[in-house]
Amino acid sequence: MSREHFQNMLREVEHELAGMGEMVIAAIDRSVLALQHVDKAEAERIIRDDAAINCKRWEIENQCVQLFATQQPVAGDLREIVSFMDLITNLERMADHAKGIAKIVVMHDQTPLLKPLIDIPRMAAKAGEMIRRSLDAFITQDVAAAKAIMAMDDEVDALYEQIFRELLTYMMEDPRTITRAVYLIWISHNLERIADRVTNICERIIFMVTGEICGN
Amino acid sequence: MSMSGSAIETRRLDLYYGDFQALTAVDLKVPEREVTALIGPSGCGKSTLLRVFNRMNDLIDGVRVNGQVLVDGKDIYAADADLLRLREKVGMVFQRPNPFPLSVFENIAFGLAVHQLAPRREYDSIVEQALRAVLLWDDLKDRLHRSALALSLEQQQRLCIARVLPLKPQVLLMDEPCSALDPIATLHIEELMQKLKQEYTIVIVTHNMQQAARASDRTGFMYLGKLIEFGATAKIFTQPAQELTENYISGRFG
């Protein structure tokens, strides 16, 4: 029964954090689906719904501040709360990237997409999986899992590279495709940034468990 | 349970020790089934206020009280107030564990006998319940008839808490209950408070601000006999409304 009350408070924040993660994953999924259907109304809704994710971030931050102020966390507990603060910042930025995708959908003209989407949904699925797995690894304090998830970022980077090259050929062949191709590049760039932020979460997991900040 | 949802309420409470005014116009509402902490520098009146709640100050010469103190909605300083009944309702735990020089069992049975609350044949089960409530039963069930003075300080303090429970108090007053304990035992007692608050209203006086922060739901900051600020502990320790509170909790004086 060592500081059970405090431990319960930590579990509560973890629970909130997992909830925020699901909100972010849903925003990413929805933004890519809106892109596939060039659904501007849905894109507008995604942009509006981002406010709820920002709210959740401030809520969790406030919980952390209260834990600092009242519970005098040290050692592993301290590192965990510091990590909560970092994770919510990263998650909130990921949601901004999903919002960025929705904004591009709004900008898209009424013509169909340049090409049927293949790799972009794949990138999105992988990024979503990385987020979910990283939050699981955070809660289970699993360093090995964190390292494995970091390696997945290379797969996302490779997809990005592939999409970029493919779209480059479209643009070279027909300059009239440039606007729509650039939109798709921006979108895949947003997804690449999301996956990159997951690696920040993984670094935090390693820090939280071992106390070591991993350098590059 | 009172109508207001407050276990204790003071209205414009003044208290004098002779010419010295120890409390000035204290208005306080202690919510039921929460832990309320009173903090402030030495001599600020926090212990005096705590002792008001079960009229422990009565024995001091020259004490005078103005204003009202309601416990469970009844004015405890009214002429017809029943002091014995008040002490049943409002239990107290002190700074140094002070078990009677009796066995563990007799320490708990003592209050039952004094207040004639239960027939003797029920003592066994009441003692067991009380010891379970403070998480001592497993440790002490085979030593019930040994002297309470042989227990560790933490166990003694738990026993002193257990001793109050058979009287079915509504309020537990704790005056620096951990100041004689080591840090780990302190955390254990704080955990116990979290458990007990599901059934009891707890008011704790502590000069350990961190303890107030960790273990209480509400905090009252007192200074020179006045209640300067009272509010949710999380609020007091992140955004106190008064500069004086901020200066005290951040260690700038006191």
Model confidence pLDDT, tens digit, residues B214-235? 999 999 999 999 999 999 999 9
What is the pLDDT, as a whole number, of residue B254? Answer: 64
> Which residues, other chains included, contact B16 with Cβ-Cβ below 8 Å and sequence gap of 6+?
B22, B62, B63, B64, B65
The alpha-carbon gap from B182 to the nearest alpha carbon of chain A, in Å, equals 14
- CA A74 to chain centroid, in Å, comes to 28
Asked if the Cβ–Cβ distance from B238 to A72 is below 8 Å, we say no
Per-residue pLDDT for A2 more than 70? no
| B-chain residue closest to A7, CA distance | B191
Rounded Cα distance between B183 and B176, Å, is: 13
Residues 6+ apart with CB under 8 A from A88: A17, A20, A56, A57, A60, A61
Residue with tokens 């004490």: B63
Would you tell me which residues 22-81 of chain A have a C-beta closer than 8 angstroms to some C-beta of chain B? Answer: 65-66, 69-72
Could you read off the pLDDT of B100-149 as tens digits, one per residue?
A: 999 999 999 998 888 888 888 999 999 999 999 898 999 999 999 999 99
Shortest Cα distance, chain B CAs vs residue A136, angstroms: 28
Count of CB atoms situated within 10 Å of the CB of A59: 14
Contact A87, A201 (CB under 8 A): yes
CB-based contact, B126 to chain A, within 8 Å: no
pLDDT of residue B2: 47
Distance to chain B for A42, nearest Cα, Å:
39
B237·A6 Cβ contact <8 A? no
CA distance B119 to chain A (A): 34
From chain A, the residues in CB contact with B188 under 8 A are: 1-2
- Min Cα distance A86 → chain B (Å) is 20
**Torsional class of B169: left (φ above 0), alpha (ψ -120 to 50), beta (otherwise):** beta
Category of A74 on φ-ψ map: left (φ > 0), alpha (ψ -120 to 50) or beta: beta
In a 10 Å sphere around its CB, with 0-12 CB exposed, 13-18 middle and 19+ buried, how is residue B180 labelled? middle
Q: What is the spatial distance between Cα B86 and Cα B58, in angstroms, rounded to a whole number?
A: 13
pLDDT in tens, A31-78: 999 999 999 999 999 999 999 999 999 999 999 999 999 999 999 999
Residue B63's φ and ψ, nearest 5 degrees, are: -80, 135
- Between A139 and B114, where is the model more confident? A139
ipTM given for this complex: 0.77
- B37 interfacial to chain A (CB closer than 8 Å): no
Identify any residues that bridge with B175 across adjacent strands, giving them in sequence order: B205
Distance in angstroms (rounded) separating the CA atoms of residues A110 and A1: 62
pLDDT confidence of A5, banded at 50, 70, 90? confident
What is residue A121's predicted lDDT score, i.e. its pLDDT?
A: 96
User: Taking CB atoms and an 8 Å cutoff, what residues of chain B touch A6?
Assistant: 214
**Chain A partners of B233 at a C-beta cutoff of 8 Å?**
70
Q: CA B233, B90, B165, B103: dihedral to nearest 10 degrees?
A: 120
Q: Which residues of B touch A69 (CB under 8 A)?
A: 213, 234, 237-238
Among A10-19, A86-95, A130-139, B180-189, whose mean pLDDT is lowest? B180-189
Q: Is the dihedral of CA B147, B149, B154, B159 positive or negative?
A: positive
- What are the DSSP E strand ranges found in chain B? 6-17, 20-31, 35-39, 63-71, 74-75, 90-93, 171-175, 201-205, 218-223, 226-232
Q: Which pLDDT belongs to residue B177?
A: 92
Please indicate if any CB of chain B lies within 8 Å of the CB of A165: no
State the Cα–Cα distance between residues A163 and B71, nearest whole angstrom: 73
Which chain A residues contact residue B194 at CB under 8 A? 4-5
CB contact under 8 A, B234 and A72: no
Place of tokens 């998480």: B135
Between chains, do B237 and A66 touch, taking CB under 8 Å as contact?
yes
Residue B37 phi/psi, 5-degree rounding, is -110, 140
Residue B85 token pair: 């009944």
Per-residue pLDDT of chain B (254 residues; tens, 9 = 90+): 445 589 999 999 999 999 999 999 999 999 999 999 999 999 999 999 999 999 999 888 899 999 999 999 999 999 899 988 898 899 999 988 999 999 999 999 998 888 888 888 999 999 999 999 898 999 999 999 999 999 999 999 999 999 999 988 999 999 999 988 888 889 989 999 999 999 999 999 998 999 999 999 999 999 999 999 999 999 999 999 999 999 999 988 76
Report the distance separating Cα B158 and Cα B152, nearest Å: 10
CB contact under 8 A, A5 and B190: yes
The whole-model pTM stands at 0.84
